Amino acid sequence: MHLYPPTVPHRHPGYVYGGLIASLIDCHSTGTAAAAAYHAEGRAMDSEPPFRFVTASLHVDYVRPTPLEGALTVRAQVKEIKGRKVIVTAQLYAGDELCARGEVVAVQMPENLLR
């Protein structure tokens, strides 16, 4: 996933707010968990019933300040699948520079909560 962060006022001009970085890692990781669930079941991504995941745990390590200029890239990998729980690791880059890494424990929502 590539994103160009919004140019809104920041506490530290020229750098991306840490909460946005955590949100990007969280969102991309729960999406990766859903994709992994579809793949594990041999189903197409748009097939019913849908797989939806929520965050049970989010941990982010900020490696270096993330510049506001240019595209940000998030890459994620499935570390483990155990029943309804998927553990995903993710990295956020500005260009080729690693700026943050995270781990998300995502849990599949029960189907009755999707209505």
Catalytic residues: 26
Q: Is 61 exposed, middle or buried (0-12, 13-18, 19+ CB in 10 A)?
A: exposed
The amino acid at 105: V
Q: How many Cβ atoms from other residues are within 10 Å of residue 88's Cβ?
A: 26
The kind and range of the H/E element at 2 are strand 2-3
